[in-house]
Homo-oligomer: A and B are copies of this chain.
Amino acid sequence: MHKTLAAVNDSTVAGLGRLARFFGFSDVMGRLYGTLLLNPEPLSLDDLADGLKISKGSVSMNMRDLERWGMAKEVWMRGERKKYYTAESDLWQVIRNVLGSREQREVQVALHVLGDSVEKLKAAEAELTPEERELARYYLDRVVDLQAFFKVAQMALETVVGSGESLDFDAVTRIEIE
């Protein structure tokens, strides 16, 4: 393959590895996704293992995860006994999958815990000594601050996750903040 193509392939695959790490996935998942993304044709487990120089076992496990997250799909090649995969190439769909089913849950949990804290602090007020009561108020201020942060996060996530079904990438480059 021409060296320019190889270089672009390498940096893209490596970059998606980084991105995967950033989102809390394994590096390998990102690299597998990148490899699939840059291949017009579906690839088999062996193709992927060879291409990335990792064991087949690892490919097998990571591909399962990629499928679970809606980042890759299995493709049936007629007359073939191997499994073939392609990348889900709609990046926004991938982002929505991840944010929707993982980050949103995290934020919900955090808000729930913080809400609990607020309730507990208020409920306990009666049985506190004056000193403790002062500290409780201090806690309350801090907990409310944290709640504010998570509420913003929640809304931001809802905005992204709830955005239109299919997104036109050419249009994205013309994004504007009012």
Contact = CB atoms under 8 A, between A and B. Distances in A.
A15 B110 CA distance: 7
A172 B159 contact: yes
Main secondary structure of the interface of A (DSSP, over half): helix
Interface in A142-178: 142-149, 151-152, 155-156, 158-159, 163-164, 167-178
Interface bracket on A: 35 or more
27 contacts: A2-B124, A2-B132, A5-B132, A5-B135, A8-B117, A9-B139, A11-B117, A12-B142, A12-B143, A12-B146, A15-B110, A15-B114, A40-B138, A91-B146, A91-B149, A92-B149, A95-B149, A145-B169, A151-B173, A152-B167, A155-B173, A155-B177, A159-B177, A164-B177, A172-B177, A175-B175, A175-B178
Given A4-B121, A11-B116, A163-B177, 16 more contacts: A5-B132, A8-B117, A8-B120, A8-B143, A15-B114, A22-B24, A38-B138, A91-B145, A92-B149, A95-B149, A151-B173, A152-B175, A155-B177, A172-B178, A174-B177, A175-B175
